[in-house]
Structure 1
Amino acid sequence: MAQVQQVMYVDPSLGEDGGNTQFDFTEQTIRKAFIRKVYAILMCQLLVTMGFIALFVFHEPTIQFVRQNTYLFWVALAVVFVSMIAMACCDNVRRTTPMNFIFLFIFTLAQSFLLGVATSSFEINEVFMAVGITAAVCLGLTLFAFQTKWDFTLIGGGLVAASMVLLMFGLIAIFIPSNNIVRLVYASLGVLLFSLYLVYDTQLMMGGKHKYSISPEEYIFAALNLYLDIINIFLLILMIMRSS
């Protein structure tokens, strides 16, 4: 899954050297309200996603209908990419209400549909185990990001480079004959990478003493980043379970 690059903001009032100091929250209340809003949006996204997964796992007619109408998969895939690119690249789309919520809702529906299709090929116990592991991992990483003194916002460039390496690894693995070890290594590295992304995106949202932060106006963008991190971790954990 594609990962959205973060948008950094420089405070122009800091003068010529402002490039070294990023936008920061000036009031604890603003920061806390922003974080609450992001997590409220994120929880709604995850609830919709879990609803689709449960539908595809427990309702056999839905699975059969989608398998008989494969065009739905490609339509959902196109909607995911178009809506994600629109929110990532167009300030007006992700900052203007209610347009930003409409685009995020459309993206979440399409992405949840794709996740439902993906999980329909797994056993119910595998899906539930992956959901539990993902929830535990994401909760632990979020608490770590809030408590640690390490500033992970400094490693954005390294994460992008690691993403390119993982992408090339995945492309090469396509041409390797079916091998569980290769898939297991790829998925394990992917979980590690997106776990770092989750900590990175969480600290961008927190602001405070971190070198880089994200504007309070970008609550849709922040929720989108966290959502993508979580679903990528979930999918890669499913791949690990299948490969092992």
Structure 2
Amino acid sequence: MSYPSAPPPYDDKNPHYPPQPGAYPGGYPQPGAYPGGYPQPAPYAGGYPQPGGYGHAGGYPHPAGPVPPMPTIPMHLGDGYGSGDSGEENGLRAGTWDDKGVRHAFIRKVYTIISVQLLVTVGIIAVFTFVTPVRTFVQRNVAVYYASYAVFLVTYLVLACCQGPRRRFPWNIILLSIFTLAMAFMTGTIASMYSTNAVLITMVITAIVAIAVTVFCFQTKVDFTSCTGLFCVLGIVVMVTGIITAIVLSFKYIAWLHMLYAAIGAIVFTLFLAYNTQLVLGNRKNAISPEEYVYGAMEIYMNIVQIFTFLLQIVGRS
């Protein structure tokens, strides 16, 4: 069975409604015919261009190229994606730091806070060391140390364990200020028990260690953030060693045991300083979230102060 190669002309297509001679509605003239029997369509009102030819019979014309697939959500989004507290517990991937502007702004904010904290701490230590009435009062009233220690412990636990207060302004700045003052009072009280020369020498050594560790963390390819379990073990070692040393020294003072504990503490907190510095700098396996500038500043500041107190015990006893 054969089919005609072209449809019939319009005048024979529907015999019940024959076209009226003359023009289309609106006064447009009846179009002529295409070559091959197709009638010429009328031009659109308003001067629109003539449409092209008819498409393929039986459907819409095929696209010029393959249709790209619809984008889909990846099945694995990485550790810590979408969870609010994973940045503090497990860290964030290095991909979080792709924006160098965000990273540099975060680092500047953290080290600006640390600089203010250290200036306040050095000022309080200077008052407790060089002002004789204050030094005498602190030495005779040990309750100042225990009171500042209690305030330090409460504020540290709140900032370290509660995500809301440390991210909510101005509560995070208020808590960090109280934490800094409490730790500065503790450090000043400890420094008042040692000679002025020992305090000054320890300050210089601590500054050299902190700067050297920071420069080393910028340059080295060693990733301290990938050894989280090791640093947990080191923290437990320092805590257990401190408890044993305190118990033994309460009965009998042993100089070499005290020096051993101070040396272990100085080494361990130097490693902690490197670990926390790399968390702040990023580009490692784990990194602190850009919203955790208070947490990063608090950890690095506390590491520097701990290094100072341990070195002071070594320098002051020598």
Please indicate, yes or no, whether the TM-score normalized by the shorter chain is above 0.5: yes
Deviation at 1:25, TM superposition (A): 1.3
Matched, 1:237 2:297: no
The structure-2 alpha-carbon separation of the partners of 1:69 and 1:32, relative to structure 1 and needing over 3 Å to count, comes to same
Question: TM-score, normalising length from structure 2?
Answer: 0.69
Q: Distance in 2 between the 1:212 and 1:70 partners?
A: 41
Relative CO higher for 1 or 2, CA cutoff 8 Å, sep ≥ 6? 1
2:216 to 109, 131, 144: 144
Q: Distance in 2 between the 1:178 and 1:71 partners?
A: 22
Matched, 1:193 2:251: no
Q: Distance in 1 between the 2:74 and 2:150 partners?
A: 42
1:218 to 288, 292, 299: 292
Trace 1:118-133 onto structure 2 (pairs within 5 A). 118-133=190-205
The structure-2 alpha-carbon separation of the partners of 1:168 and 1:14, relative to structure 1 and needing over 3 Å to count, comes to farther
Deviation at 1:52, TM superposition (A): 0.3
Deviation at 1:28, TM superposition (A): 0.4
Amino acid at match of 1:228: M
Of the structure 1 ranges 20-29 and 121-130, higher mean CA displacement relative to structure 2 is found in: 20-29
Q: Distance in 2 between the 1:219 and 1:71 partners?
A: 32
Q: Distance in 1 between the 2:279 and 2:273 partners?
A: 10
1:170-212 CA distance string (max 9 Å, x none): 222223331111111111111111111111101111112x110
1:178 — aligned with what? 253
1:7 — aligned with what? none
Deviation at 1:22, TM superposition (A): 2.8
- The answer to whether the 8 A contact 2:138-2:192 is kept is no
- The answer to whether the 8 A contact 1:87-1:103 is kept is yes
Of the structure 1 ranges 82-91 and 67-76, higher mean CA displacement relative to structure 2 is found in: 67-76
1:97 — aligned with what? 169
1:227 to 295, 301, 307: 301
Deviation at 1:15, TM superposition (A): 4.2
1:206 — aligned with what? 281
Q: Distance in 2 between the 1:38 and 1:149 partners?
A: 22
Of the structure 1 ranges 39-48 and 86-95, higher mean CA displacement relative to structure 2 is found in: 86-95
Q: Distance in 2 between the 1:233 and 1:170 partners?
A: 15
Considering only CA atoms, is the larger Rg found in Structure 1 or Structure 2?
A: 2
Amino acid at match of 1:73: Y
- The answer to whether the 8 A contact 1:183-1:243 is kept is no
Aligned residues: 231
Q: Distance in 1 between the 2:204 and 2:186 partners?
A: 20
Gaps of 5+ in 2: 1-72, 81-90
Q: Secondary structure at the match of 1:216?
A: coil
The structure-2 alpha-carbon separation of the partners of 1:212 and 1:51, relative to structure 1 and needing over 3 Å to count, comes to same
1:195-243 CA distance string (max 9 Å, x none): 11111101111112x1100000000000000001100100010111133
Q: Distance in 2 between the 1:206 and 1:15 partners?
A: 29
Question: TM-score, normalising length from structure 1?
Answer: 0.89
2:79 — aligned with what? 19
The structure-2 alpha-carbon separation of the partners of 1:131 and 1:14, relative to structure 1 and needing over 3 Å to count, comes to farther
Amino acid at match of 1:192: I
2:236 to 164, 171, 195: 164
Deviation at 1:75, TM superposition (A): 2.1
1:134 — aligned with what? 206
2:125 — aligned with what? 53
1:113 — aligned with what? 185
- The answer to whether the 8 A contact 1:93-1:99 is kept is yes
Gaps of 5+ in 1: 1-12
Q: Distance in 2 between the 1:120 and 1:69 partners?
A: 12
2:56 — aligned with what? none
The structure-2 alpha-carbon separation of the partners of 1:15 and 1:47, relative to structure 1 and needing over 3 Å to count, comes to farther
Of the structure 1 ranges 33-42 and 191-200, higher mean CA displacement relative to structure 2 is found in: 191-200
Q: Distance in 2 between the 1:69 and 1:181 partners?
A: 28
Deviation at 1:142, TM superposition (A): 0.6
Q: Percent identity?
A: 39
